[in-house]
Structure formats: structure tokens, C-alpha cells
Amino acid sequence: MERSLDTRVDQAVEAWLRWLPRWEPATHRGRRSPCRRCLGSPVLEAAGLASDVPHGVQHGMSTRIKAIVDAQVGEYTAKNLPLLQAELDEQTARNRARSYRPREDLAPEFDGLPLDPDPLPGQPFLFTIAGLEQQAAAESAPLPPLSEEAKRALRQEVRLADEFADEIGREVCALLLRHRMRIRAAVTEFVEPQIDALLAELTSSLDTPFD
Ligand SMILES: [Zn+2]
């Protein structure tokens, strides 16, 4: 398993490095709410992307690494935690039955972000993607209630899955440390010049406001 985790981290970093040259600074208004996946992420800390890097660049990495941890936890759960696995299978079947599933098949750069942009003050949206998703979720019947004993057993399995996820998270961070130099070099090559250009443009438009 050790070796395969190693390989998966290598592949995720390679995929991020291939994607990075296509990254462009967002020209639209920034989000007000911080990203829960990226803020304070030990993964980004280990990768050397914790500060002075635009969120889009961070998110592309944290999502790719999260996918690795999720896959490992999924394998562990399938093998060792039958109650939790049954619960997840049930949830998957219900999700598949929904008429509208906007979160499926998103590129890593978009996965985990809010589905809708922030509304402008005084200009509410007529409808939102998140609202349509909620409507679709409300179509399915509620899950049958669990007995107290079943709940306890399930909680115990959830705790084991969490512990395993922590363990994998720590291993992944240790593996990422080896890639820091290349990650940093790629930021210097592809990200920093674009930020510098944006700042230069801003400075020149401030210098000559009536052009
Ligand atoms: Zn993020």
C-alpha cells in the first residue's frame, strides 16, 4: 500500500504540474467566503502552497490530493467497515436516482467550490444551481430510521474511518514534502509572472486614470 500511495501522490503532483501552465488569474470579483478545503490545509502547507499563492492554484492541488485520500478511505471502508459501506451504498443509490446532479464530473479545479457565484447586493438570482440541487434532493423519501444499537455501531465505524483518513493524510503530507521544490519552481514560472503583470497593469491604470 505504501508504494501505491507514493505513486498516487506522484501522479497527482504531475497532473497539477501539467495543468498549472493553463491557470489564469480570475478576472471576476473574488469570493467573500474562504474555501473550507484550502483554508489552513496541512496538504497545502506540505506542498509549499499555503501562502502567497492564488486560491485557484491551491484548490487545483488540494482537490487532487483529497481525491487520493478519499479513494484510500473508500478502499479501507469497503474492506473493513461493512455498516458504513452499506450506508454509503444506500446514499449513492439515492443520489443516482436524483433527477439533477450538478456536482458530478466536475474538473478538479471546480470540485468542492460553491455551485453559484456570490449574488450582488440587491440583485438576487431568479434561481440557483444549489437551489435546484436541493429541490432534487427533496424528491427522494427519507431514510428509514436506525436503531440505537445500529447507530452506535455505525458511529464506531465512522470513527475508524476518520482515524484511517487522518493516518493517510499524514502519510500524504510526508510524501508531498519531496515535491515542494518542483511545486515552488512551477509557481515561480507560471503564476508569479501573471500576478506581476496584473499588478503592473493596475499600477499603470492608476498612474494614468484619464487615458
Ligand atoms: Zn479551495
Report DSSP letters for 21-48, one per residue.
GG-----SPPPSSPPTTTTT-HHHHHHT
Which residues, at least 6 apart from 136, have a Cβ–Cβ distance to it below 8 Å?
98, 99, 100, 101
Number of domains in the chain: 1
Q: How many Å apart are CA 131 and CA 126, to the nearest integer? A: 10
Q: How many Å apart are CA 21 and CA 198, to the nearest integer? A: 16
pLDDT at position 153 is 95
Whether residue 162 lies inside any domain: the answer is: yes
Cα 62 to ligand 1 centroid, rounded to whole Å: 7
Whether residue 105 lies inside any domain: the answer is: yes
Whether residue 84 lies inside any domain: the answer is: yes
pLDDT at position 11 is 96
**Residues of the chain with confidence (pLDDT) below 70:** 1-3, 27-32, 124, 208-211
pLDDT at position 104 is 77
Cα 41 to ligand 1 centroid, rounded to whole Å: 9
Quote the crossing angle between the two packed helices 148-177 and 82-97, to the nearest 10°.
Answer: 90
Cα 147 to ligand 1 centroid, rounded to whole Å: 37
Closest by Cα among 50, 1, 17, 12 to 186: 17
pLDDT at position 64 is 96
Cα 38 to ligand 1 centroid, rounded to whole Å: 4
Which residues, at least 6 apart from 205, have a Cβ–Cβ distance to it below 8 Å?
211
Whether residue 141 lies inside any domain: the answer is: yes
Q: How many Å apart are CA 182 and CA 18, to the nearest integer? A: 12
Cα 193 to ligand 1 centroid, rounded to whole Å: 22
pLDDT at position 163 is 97
Residues lying with their CB under 5 A of ligand 1, a single-atom ion: 35, 37-38, 59
Whether residue 28 lies inside any domain: the answer is: no
pLDDT at position 32 is 63
Whether residue 154 lies inside any domain: the answer is: yes
| Residue 52 grid cell | 502567497
Angle, CA 45 vertex, CA 43 and CA 48 arms, to 5°? 110
Question: Rounded to 5 degrees, what are φ and ψ at 120?
Answer: -80, 145
Cα 113 to ligand 1 centroid, rounded to whole Å: 7
pLDDT at position 31 is 59
Q: How many Å apart are CA 181 and CA 6, to the nearest integer? A: 17
Cα 104 to ligand 1 centroid, rounded to whole Å: 17
Whether residue 101 lies inside any domain: the answer is: yes
Boundaries of domain holding 39: 5-23+33-207
Cα 63 to ligand 1 centroid, rounded to whole Å: 8
Cα 164 to ligand 1 centroid, rounded to whole Å: 23
Cα 6 to ligand 1 centroid, rounded to whole Å: 23
Could you tell me the sign of the dihedral formed by the alpha carbons of 28, 30, 33, 34, in that order?
positive
Cα 143 to ligand 1 centroid, rounded to whole Å: 31
Cα 35 to ligand 1 centroid, rounded to whole Å: 5
Cα 180 to ligand 1 centroid, rounded to whole Å: 19
In sequence order, the β-bridge partners of residue 120 are 123
170 to each of 3, 69, 82, how far by Cα in Å? 15, 10, 25
